[in-house]
Every structure is written in structure tokens, then in C-alpha cells.
């Protein structure tokens, strides 16, 4: 057996090949471009890499063009956590010396000695990988939109509380186009107090409003003309300019999140697993796409449901030493899947009577706090999702949450 280790960097990479005795067979320093990738593939082919007998590769990242090139064919690519690689480095030297060629050799030896303890990158379909890109990008855009919205809210509290009071009645008030139109028209409270009813109605129409234009214009005019404290005129104008600059960022973030959401809505229903995922209570297109993006569609990725639950961080972990033992939640997990799981469990509570009964049972009978009860519900439903995907079945409320009488008969 031949094993390959690649120390990844931004512009260049170091490659090392070892045999099953740990003997260094070859090493190369390649560039991060098409020419460097060709040198790497030629080197692997020289030492027997083929479609029938591919050489496994260890690298410290799971993304990028180099990884995409390596994943062609049946070659196994192992993304080794840099912290884990640092621990393996200490096995060969106690001086803590470090070099890029040495790290490539360490990565190759990790596969030689402990390949069974590491998981290769999943063999997901092209559509599954594309959905993962879109779902993660949409999630990042949503988080970015919320972050900028919080910054805008904090700034408005400093000099323009009338705006916050005026838009509080609207859901996601600071992200709505009506809010943006009015803030562009009146970036300071002094200018807002001089807005006429006609100007407010025109701003609402430009934002796309079709109903309740006159009523909302009257309400906004009343709030903006109320007695509010003010900053000094020059300071207020400066803060207004700062707000407009932040507003541009928020509008761009809102547009990006909406466009990516549309792309997810177009791509996700085309996936064969979408029908099963969407059959679960609490999972819509956006949240279902996030779940699929993290678990993938490679049926061999997880040996059983317990592996998936541990990966999601929903199952508890036991720490025992001597006579002391504690059961706590997992800190090392897939944060994106764990975040989606809390949203999923929260939505399922109101969408499924069985999920609500399970949640109330954890709260009342076991004394769990809200977060712990949600995590337990997510853990159960994730196991059900694994079973349904493995067997190609849709969610069935009666099977997933059987009534107490059925459980008593079965017992």
C-alpha cells in the first residue's frame, strides 16, 4: 500500500508518499494551479494510482480546487483536522520542530497507521454538493443580514429612537423595503419630523406596498413628529450619514439572502431525498436543504444512526474517570447541522402532536430545561430521518410517535 500526505497552503503545497513500512518514497513541492495539480496526479500515477487501486490522500482541508481534483474517480480523500495532525507530529519528535515537508510526511503516516480511525470525505452526488453550497451560502447570508440589522438597530438607538418605534410593528422591521425607503428619505429625526403625509405615502408605494398605505402613512407621521430627544445638529447629521452607509450594506445583505433562498428553492426539490425530508414536520425547503447539505446523500457515510447523532451533537456524551461520571452535551459537532436541528425541533413542536407530547414529556417527566428537551427531540427525529432515508420511506406520525396505549401493548 502507498499513502499520500499533502500539507496544504495558499499558494504552494508539499506532497509526501510513503509505503506500508513508513519509508518515504517521494516528495514534491507543487504550486496551487493546474500545472501543480498535473504534477501531483502524474506522481500518484507513477506510484500505481489507478481507477482500480487509487492511492488514499490525507490533507488538512475539505474544500478548494485541489480537493476537487483529488476527489475525481474512486480515490479516498481524508480531511485531517490540523489539531489532530499536530498531536501526531509529537509522536515522531519531542522538540516541537515543524516544517511543511515534515507535515506532509506526518499526514501520510496518519493514513498508514490509523486510516481506520478517520472518515473519508463522503461520496455525495453532484446535485447534493451543489445544494450544500447554496444552503450554506444562504445560511451565511441570513446570519450576515441579522448581524448588520443588529448594528443598524444599535446605531438608531443612539440618535433616532423614533425610527425604531415606527417600524417595530412590522415583522423584521429593519429588513423591510418600506423601512429602507423611509430611512433614505429621512436619515435623521429632524428631517423625519418634517415629512408630509404625501411623502410618506409615496415612499411606501416605491417600496412596493399595495395595501394600508394611507393608514400606515398617518401612523408613521404621528410617531415621527412626536416629542423625542435629539443629538446636536452636526452630530445628528454625521450619524445620519453613518446610518445611510450601514443601510447600503443591509440592503445588499437582504438582496443576497433573498436571491440565494430562491436558488435553494429551485435546486432542493430536484433532489431524490427532498420528498422524504420535506415529509418531516417542521422541515421546509430552506431548513430541509440545510439538513441535507450537512448529512449529504452518501448512504455509507454513517454506519448507523448513532454516528449521525454524534456528528450533529444531539446525543449526550459521557465523561468518566475513576468514581466520577458526568453526562453532558457535545461541544465538538457540526455547528451548522446542530443549529438547523434546534430550528427543526422548535418548528416540529407546533407541527406534530407526537413531537409536542415528546417535548412535554421531557419537560414534565424528566425535568429537562427547554434547550435540553429540544435537543432530545432533535436527537429522536434525526434517528427517524436516518431510518427513513436508508429505507426510502416518508415520515409517518403514527410510527414515529406511537400512542401510549400502543407502547403498553407492545411491552
196-240 confidence digits (pLDDT tens)? 999 999 999 999 989 989 999 999 999 999 999 899 999 999 999
Three-state SS at 20: coil
User: Is there a contact between 54 and 71 (Cβ–Cβ < 8 Å)?
Assistant: no
What is the distance in angstroms between the CA of the first residue and the CA of the last residue of the chain? Answer: 52
Helix or strand holding residue 289 (H, E): helix 285-295
Phi and psi at residue 320, to the nearest 5°: -130, 140
- pLDDT band (50, 70, 90) for residue 325: confident
Half-sphere exposure of 176 (CA within 13 A, CB side): 20
What integer pLDDT is reported at residue 270 of this predicted model? 96
- pLDDT tens track for 59-79: 998 888 999 999 988 899 999
**Options 3.40.50.300, 3.40.50.10490, 3.40.50.720, 3.30.420.40; which CATH number does 2-117 get?**
3.30.420.40
Q: How is residue 304 written as a grid cell?
A: 448507523
Other Cβ atoms closer than 10 A to 210: 7
- pLDDT band (50, 70, 90) for residue 323: confident
* 247-262: average pLDDT: 96
Strands (E) located in 42-184: 57-59, 77-79
What integer pLDDT is reported at residue 410 of this predicted model? 43
Q: Please state, in angstroms and as integers, the Cα–Cα distance from residue 30 to each residue in 4, 15, 22, 50, 51, following that order.
A: 14, 8, 22, 21, 23
How far is 239 from 159, CA to CA, in rounded Å?
A: 7
What integer pLDDT is reported at residue 404 of this predicted model? 65
Q: Over the range 261-297, which residues count as b (16 or more CB within 10 Å of their CB) and which as e? A: bebbeebbeebebbebbbebbbbebbbbbbbbbbbbb
- pLDDT tens track for 259-307: 999 999 999 999 999 999 999 999 999 999 999 999 999 999 898 999 9
Measured N-to-C along each axis, helices 126-159 and 285-295 cross at an angle, to the nearest 10 degrees, of 120
Which of 45-54, 72-81, 129-138 reaches the highest mean pLDDT? 129-138
* 169-193: average pLDDT: 93
- pLDDT band (50, 70, 90) for residue 127: very high
Three-state SS at 125: coil
User: Is there a contact between 345 and 374 (Cβ–Cβ < 8 Å)?
Assistant: yes
State the chain's mean pLDDT as an integer.
91
Q: Which residues contact 146 (CB under 8 A, 6 or more apart)?
A: none
How far is 13 from 36, CA to CA, in rounded Å?
A: 9
Higher pLDDT, 392 or 85: 392
What integer pLDDT is reported at residue 146 of this predicted model? 95
Phi-psi region of 172 (alpha: psi -120 to 50; beta: other; left: phi over 0): left
Beta bridge partners of 5: 16, 58
Q: How is residue 233 written as a grid cell?
A: 445638529
Q: Which residues contact 387 (CB under 8 A, 6 or more apart)?
A: 305, 393
Q: So where are the chain's domains? A: 2-117, 130-266, 275-410
pLDDT at 409 over 50: no
pLDDT at 411 over 70: no
Amino acid at each position: 500500500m502507498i499513502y499520500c500526505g499533502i500539507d496544504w497552503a495558499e499558494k504552494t503545497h508539499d506532497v509526501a508518499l510513503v509505503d506500508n513500512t513508513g519509508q518515504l518514497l517521494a516528495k514534491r513541492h507543487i504550486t496551487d494551479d493546474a500545472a501543480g495539480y498535473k504534477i501531483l496526479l502524474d506522481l500518484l500515477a507513477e506510484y500505481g494510482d489507478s481507477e482500480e487501486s487509487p492511492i488514499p490522500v490525507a490533507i488538512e482541508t475539505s474544500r478548494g480546487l485541489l480537493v476537487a481534483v483529488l476527489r475525481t474517480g474512486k480515490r479516498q480523500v481524508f480531511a485531517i483536522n490540523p489539531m489532530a495532525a499536530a498531536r501526531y507530529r509529537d509522536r515522531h519528535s519531542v522538540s516541537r520542530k515543524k516544517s511543511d515537508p515534515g507535515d506532509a510526511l506526518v499526514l501520510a503516516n496518519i493514513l498508514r497507521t490509523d486510516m481506520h480511525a478517520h472518515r473519508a470525505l463522503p461520496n455525495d452526488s453532484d446535485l447534493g454538493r451543489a445544494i450544500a453550497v447554496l444552503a450554506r451560502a444562504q445560511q451565511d447570508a441570513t446570519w450576515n443580514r441579522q448581524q448588520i440589522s443588529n448594528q443598524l438597530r444599535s446605531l438608531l438607538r443612539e440618535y433616532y429612537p423614533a425610527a425604531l418605534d415606527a417600524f417595530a410593528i412590522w415583522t423584521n422591521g429593519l429588513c423591510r423595503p418600506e423601512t429602507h425607503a423611509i430611512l433614505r428619505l429621512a436619515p435623521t429625526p429632524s428631517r423625519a419630523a418634517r415629512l408630509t403625509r404625501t411623502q410618506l405615502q409615496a415612499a411606501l408605494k416605491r417600496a412596493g406596498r399595495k395595501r394600508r398605505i394611507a393608514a400606515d402613512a398617518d401612523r408613521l407621521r404621528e410617531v415621527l413628529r412626536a416629542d423625542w430627544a435629539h443629538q446636536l445638529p452636526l452630530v445628528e447629521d454625521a450619524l445620519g450619514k453613518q446610518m445611510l452607509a450601514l443601510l447600503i450594506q443591509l440592503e445588499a445583505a437582504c438582496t443576497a439572502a433573498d436571491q440565494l433562498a430562491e436558488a435553494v428553492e429551485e435546486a432542493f426539490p430536484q433532489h431524490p431525498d427532498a420528498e422524504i425530508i420535506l415529509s418531516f414536520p417542521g422541515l421546509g425547503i430552506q431548513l430541509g436543504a440545510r439538513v441535507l447539505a450537512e448529512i449529504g446523500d452518501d448512504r455509507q457515510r454513517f454506519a448507523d444512526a448513532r454516528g449521525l447523532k454524534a456528528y450533529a451533537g444531539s446525543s449526550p456524551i459521557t465523561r468518566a474517570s475513576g468514581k466520577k461520571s458526568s453526562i453532558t452535551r457535545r461541544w465538538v459537532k457540526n455547528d451548522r447541522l446542530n443549529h438547523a436541528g434546534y430550528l427543526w425541533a422548535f418548528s416540529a413542536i407546533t407541527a406534530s402532536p407526537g413531537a409536542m407530547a415528546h417535548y412535554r414529556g421531557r419537560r414534565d417527566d424528566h425535568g429537562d430545561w427547554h434547550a435540553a428537551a429540544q435537543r432530545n427531540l432533535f436527537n429522536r427525529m434525526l434517528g427517524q430521518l436516518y431510518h427513513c432515508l436508508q429505507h426510502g420511506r416518508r415520515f409517518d406520525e403514527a410510527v414515529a410517535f406511537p400512542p401510549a396505549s400502543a407502547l403498553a401493548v407492545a411491552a
